[in-house]
Structure 1
Amino acid sequence: MKNYVIYIAFALACFISNAQEIFICAEEELIDYSNSNLSSAPNWSGSIDPAFLATFEPVVFNVVFWKITDEHGEIGFNWATDIQEEDVLESIAAMNIEYNKFNMFFKYKGLNEIKSPPNLAIREFPNCNTAVAPDPHGYGVIDRCEIGEFYFFAENNGYNDPNAFNIYIPYGTRQFAGASRFNDTKFIIRADIASAGGMVHEMGHSFYLKHTFNNYNNASCERVTRDPNDINFNADTKGDQVVDTAAVPDFAKEYCYTNPLDINCIDDPKYMSHVYIDDNCEYIGNSVNFYDEFFEINPSDIQNYMAYTVASCRNQFTIGQGIRARETIRDDTFNNFAPAMTTISALYEPYKGTYYFAGPQLPNSEKPLFQPGFDYKFIECSGYYPQPAPYNENFSYNPLNTIETYDAYEQDYNILTHPNHSAIQILQVEEGLGHTNVQKCYNNFNLNPKGGTYTRFNDGVFNTNVTITEMDSLQVNNPNMINNLQPGLYNIEKEYDNGAKQQTVIIKEN
Structure 2
Amino acid sequence: MKKARKVLYTLILILCCINLSLAQEKISDLLRSNTIQLKEVESYMKSNNIAPLSCEEDHEHGSDVGNLRKGQAFGPSLKPIHAIYVFNVYFHILNDNNGYREVPITEDDILEAVSILNKSFNSFNIFFKYKGFGSINNTWRSVVYLGGNRTFNQLVEYTKGINKYRSDSFNIFIASSIRRSQYDQTRIAGVANKPGINSVIDDEYLLTSTLPHEIGHNFNLFHTHHNWNKNNCELVRYNDFVEDTPPSVAYSAEDLSGGCSSELNEVRNKCGIEIRRVPSSNFMSSNVMPCRSLDNALFTEGQGKRMKLSIQQEISPLYMSIQNSVESLYEPYQGNYDKVVIDESDESENHNGNFKFQKGFDYEFVDCDDINEVEESFTKDETPNIHPPYTAIKILQISKDKAFKCHIPVENEEERERTVINFGTIISNNYTVYKIKYESSKEKEFYKKIPVGYNLIKSKNKEGQMVQKMIYKSQ
* TM-score, with length taken from structure 2: 0.66
CA distance in 1, matches of 2:379, 2:200: 29
Q: In structure 2, which of residues 361, 368, 371 is the aligned counterpart of residue 399 of structure 1?
A: 371
Shift of 1:359: 8.9
Shift of 1:196: 4.1
CA distance in 2, matches of 1:362, 1:32: 52
| Contact residue 342 and residue 410 of structure 2 kept, 8 A | no
Instruction: Name the residue aligned to 1:239.
Output: 239
Q: In structure 1, which of residues 38, 54, 66 is the aligned counterpart of residue 92 of structure 2?
A: 66
Deviations 1:52-95 (A, max 9, x none): 32x331111110011111111111x4xxx322222222221121
Q: In structure 1, which of residues 280, 289, 293 is the aligned counterpart of residue 268 of structure 2?
A: 289
| Contact residue 215 and residue 221 of structure 1 kept, 8 A | no
Q: In structure 1, which of residues 348, 353, 369 is the aligned counterpart of residue 335 of structure 2?
A: 353
Alignment of 1:94-493 (within 5 A): 94-116=116-138, 137-145=139-147, 146=150, 147-175=152-180, 176-220=188-232, 235=237, 238-252=238-252, 274-277=253-256, 280-283=259-262, 285-290=264-269, 291-297=271-277, 301-314=279-292, 315-333=297-315, 335-355=317-337, 356-358=339-341, 367-381=354-368, 397-410=369-382, 413=383, 415-430=384-399, 436-444=401-409, 446=411
**Matched AA of 2:170:** F
CA distance in 1, matches of 2:352, 2:407: 19
Deviations 1:273-327 (A, max 9, x none): x3224684234541313134432316xx111000013244331111111111111
Shift of 1:142: 1.9
Over 3 Å counting, the alpha-carbon distance change for 1:398 and 1:371 in structure 2 is same
CA distance in 2, matches of 1:309, 1:212: 11
Gaps of 5+ in 2: 15-51, 181-187, 414-436, 439-463, 467-475
| Contact residue 42 and residue 327 of structure 1 kept, 8 A | no
Instruction: Name the residue aligned to 1:385.
Output: none
| Contact residue 44 and residue 328 of structure 1 kept, 8 A | no
Q: CA RMSD in A?
A: 3.6
- Structure number with greater Rg is 2
Gaps of 5+ in 1: 12-26, 117-136, 224-233, 253-273, 382-396, 449-478, 481-507
Instruction: Name the residue aligned to 2:106.
Output: 84
| Contact residue 70 and residue 140 of structure 1 kept, 8 A | yes
Over 3 Å counting, the alpha-carbon distance change for 1:312 and 1:352 in structure 2 is farther
CA distance in 1, matches of 2:241, 2:121: 20
Shift of 1:329: 0.5
| Contact residue 365 and residue 391 of structure 2 kept, 8 A | yes
* Mean CA deviation greater in 144-153 or 309-318: 309-318
CA distance in 2, matches of 1:319, 1:213: 17
Over 3 Å counting, the alpha-carbon distance change for 1:340 and 1:46 in structure 2 is closer
**Matched AA of 2:340:** F
Shift of 1:221: 6.3
CA distance in 2, matches of 1:367, 1:28: 40
CA distance in 2, matches of 1:82, 1:222: 47
CA distance in 2, matches of 1:403, 1:28: 45
Q: For this pair of structures, how many residues does the alignment match?
A: 351
Over 3 Å counting, the alpha-carbon distance change for 1:362 and 1:142 in structure 2 is farther
| Contact residue 244 and residue 318 of structure 1 kept, 8 A | yes
* TM-score, with length taken from structure 1: 0.62
Q: Percent of aligned pairs with the same residue?
A: 26
CA distance in 2, matches of 1:203, 1:296: 28
Instruction: Name the residue aligned to 2:48.
Output: none
Instruction: Name the residue aligned to 1:259.
Output: none
Over 3 Å counting, the alpha-carbon distance change for 1:222 and 1:365 in structure 2 is farther
Instruction: Name the residue aligned to 1:32.
Output: 57
**DSSP 3-state at the match of 2:94:** strand
Shift of 1:43: 6.9
Shift of 1:44: 4.7
Deviations 1:249-286 (A, max 9, x none): 1124xxxxxxxxxxxxxxxxxxxxx3224684234541
CA distance in 1, matches of 2:211, 2:331: 23
**DSSP 3-state at the match of 1:99:** helix
**DSSP 3-state at the match of 1:429:** coil
**Matched AA of 1:48:** P
